[in-house]
Amino acid sequence: MDDPRLVALGLVPPPPGQEKAPEAENWTAAPEAPPVTSDWEPVQQSQYLPTPPNPFSEAANTIPQYPDPFSTPLPPVAPPTPPAPQQPAVPSIFNSPNSPFSFAPGAAAPAAPAREYTTAPDYKSSAPTPATYTAPSPFTAANAPFGVATAPTTFTPAAPVAAPTTKEGKKAALRAIEEAKKAAKIAEENAEKAAKIAEEDAKRNAKLAAAQAKIDEREAKIAEREAKKAAEREAKQAKRAKLLAPEVTPIAPFVAAPFVPPAPTSVAQPAPTRFAPQAATPFSPAAVAIPAQPQKTPPYVELMNAIGKHPAVIRKDVQYGYFGRARLELSPMGFALVGLRTGTAYTWNEVKEIKASRGRLEIKTEADRERVVKTKEATTTQPYVEKLTRALVISIDGATEPGFAPYIAKVMQDMKAQTFNYHATSWLEYENALERVRGEFSEHDDPFVPAVAGALFGFIFVAGLFILPEIVNLASDIKPPAGAFVVQPRYGWFDIRSFVMAVGLSALLTRLVLRLGLGSSALSWARGSVRGWHTSGPLALRIATRELARLLLGTSFAAAALFLGFSAFAPTVASTLVIDSVGLREVVPLPIIGVDKKWSEVNDVQKSEGPGRLEGFGVTVFFRDGRWVTTVDHDLSGGTDGQLLQRATSWWKTATE
């Protein structure tokens, strides 16, 4: 078989059936492109591959014609060929708009500028340029599966999702709708909770701001009152100094007049007279006004003013004793106790000991002071050493807080050692304790606690109102001697002393029960209520809760009320009357108002009406001075009213006969 390459070069004749077709006149014409089929079809393979025209053999048989550059006119300028319309690109993973591997197309190269001819143009053959022939393949065909050439392609939109028709699909759709509704409802509830929390925080901040404004207003009033007092004091001192200042009359300095000689005149000389000595006048010393000595301000007052004006002063309210109220001021110079009318101050060198004991801040000082000593001759000042130990209780918004004593003691100890600053451990512990107090009240601010406390207080009060008078009756019961009667006063619940004792007893027992049942939370609630931190509920309920908390916290006052109530019954117990054959006398006869009479001083013994008595009547004894005693509304021991009437009448008649 002949080599197809030799056949293509024309060196060997083609086999029969594959003779070359006669060439057209213009052999340079481009071959016709194969028809484009709708579906890709492979090229029909023949025995030999198609032989394209050989440009080398044609060029060897053709002599090119070169135009004369001097006589040939310039060719007309061809208009610029408009760019072909951009065909849609075949979609792939690299140019699809939603593909992760897509990239931006490169910028088109700029068009070459038109060439300007300055000399003879280059030669351009009049023969057309043959087109390059490309055989169809799976990579170059327009509709090939692996083709990358441009091909017009249209895309149809995706079909809409059809509603589920099966039972499972409908259930899934309903479940999705319900879950969406639940999620929306949960989101709405969360939004409402967040709004409520924000509203509560805003209210709490407003209340704290109002409380701070009240505190500032109170401090401003105290400062204004102190300023007025200082101004009045200065005005009095100035007035006193003005009254005691000497009155000085300005006198011009003595200046001798210039000497002027008298004019010479003839003056008749007077006749000489006899010398007569003048009478001596008594000596009177000139009055000298002693200037008023300005009053010296005590050093501790100046120190107190300096501490109050210090920019880093720390102020805390304190209580001492039962009714003492003051403000404790701390600064690097020392500390001051400022009261409503008086105050004192000490430097840290004068402070000997600072400690916290049983919820109280104990400060031991030793300072040099002066006191005024009045004697018969004069009034003098005498220096002495003042040694005092003060016990203070820290107060927050009007309620005591014994747990703060250790933290304030540490702050004062650091100030005394000159190691205090606002980043020190003592100050941070104090701030944490202050925040912890508010947090504990917020945790235990439960309406159940005041309700239980009020119910318990009321029950104990009612029970004590009836039981305490009977206890007094049993305690004051006196056994009468043989042949005598004892008349004792009757103690009932309708008595102011019974009310006072019942209040004191119920306050003590209620606090004890709450402390045993709730622990420290009961006291935290009570202190917060007294400070006004409990702001929910009606105004009347808040006032009642606050007063109940005051009673529970005032253990000293409750114990004092209970003791005073019992003590108030002592004069009544002393008025117990003993009646025998000698006379009528009280157990402890008081002077003037006491009863100590004999039967000879009795004017009459009568039977009187006594509702509620065992026999329906009582006995009344009248004295000659107009006074009288009776068994009505009293307890009688040693016999009945009839027996007392019979014996008292016989004793009286026997004494008067």
What stretch of H or E contains 362?
A: strand 360-374
Contact 591, 571 (CB under 8 A): no
pLDDT per residue over 117-150, tens digit each? 444 444 444 445 555 555 555 555 555 555 554 5
Sign of CA dihedral 211, 216, 221, 225: positive
Mean pLDDT, all residues of the chain: 75
Residue 504 in tokens: 């004191």
For residue 409, the model assigns a pLDDT of 92
Question: Which is higher by pLDDT, 92 or 363?
Answer: 363
CA 409 to chain centre: 24
Domains 299-444 and 575-656 share a fold: yes
Contact 411, 314 (CB under 8 A): yes
Give, in order, the Cα–Cα distances in Å from 656 to each of 584, 605, 622, 652. Answer: 15, 12, 14, 6
Question: Distance between CA 147 and CA 150 in Å, rounded?
Answer: 8
Determine phi and psi for 314, rounding to 5 degrees: -115, 125
Q: Is 313 exposed, middle or buried (0-12, 13-18, 19+ CB in 10 A)?
A: middle
Question: Which is higher by pLDDT, 221 or 34?
Answer: 221
Mean pLDDT, range 592-618, rounded to an integer: 82
| DSSP code for 166 | S
Q: Which long-range contacts (CB under 8 A, 24 or more apart) does 216-225 make?
A: 219/315, 222/327, 222/340
Question: Distance between CA 325 and CA 339 in Å, rounded?
Answer: 7
Q: Is 532 exposed, middle or buried (0-12, 13-18, 19+ CB in 10 A)?
A: middle
Which among 515, 509, 525 has a CA at the least distance from the CA of 461? 509
| Helices 520-530 and 448-475: angle between axes, nearest 10 degrees | 100
Q: Is 374 exposed, middle or buried (0-12, 13-18, 19+ CB in 10 A)?
A: exposed
At residue 588, does pLDDT exceed 50? yes
Out of 26-40, 43-57, 222-236, 437-451, least confident range = 26-40
Contact 557, 565 (CB under 8 A): no
For residue 50, the model assigns a pLDDT of 54
Question: Distance between CA 536 and CA 538 in Å, rounded?
Answer: 7
Contact 330, 415 (CB under 8 A): yes
How many CB atoms lie under 10 A from the CB of residue 419? 10
CB within 8 A of 408, min separation 6: which ones?
Answer: 316, 328, 356, 361, 394, 430
Domain residue limits, the chain: 1-18+46-59, 184-214, 299-444, 448-571, 575-656
At residue 363, does pLDDT exceed 90? yes
For residue 64, the model assigns a pLDDT of 56
For residue 73, the model assigns a pLDDT of 65
Confidence band for 246, pLDDT divided at 50, 70 and 90: very low
Question: Distance between CA 171 and CA 524 in Å, rounded?
Answer: 56
For residue 437, the model assigns a pLDDT of 85
User: Alpha helix locations (H) across 403-538?
Assistant: 405-416, 425-444, 448-475, 496-518, 520-530
Contact 343, 304 (CB under 8 A): yes
Give, in order, the Cα–Cα distances in Å from 124 to each of 62, 66, 72, 111, 279. Answer: 17, 9, 12, 21, 166
How many CB atoms lie under 10 A from the CB of residue 261? 5
Give, in order, the Cα–Cα distances in Å from 67 to each of 25, 116, 130. Answer: 22, 21, 21
Give me the count of residues in the chain: 657
How many CB atoms lie under 10 A from the CB of residue 112? 6
Question: Which is higher by pLDDT, 430 or 13?
Answer: 430
User: What is the CATH architecture assignment of 299-444?
Assistant: Roll (2.30)
How many CB atoms lie under 10 A from the CB of residue 450? 22
Contact 136, 43 (CB under 8 A): yes
pLDDT per residue over 179-214, tens digit each? 999 999 999 999 999 999 999 999 989 988 888 888
Task: Pick 575-656's CATH classification: 2.30.29.30, 3.40.50.300, 3.40.630.30, 3.40.640.10.
Answer: 2.30.29.30
pLDDT per residue over 76-93, tens digit each? 666 667 666 665 555 666
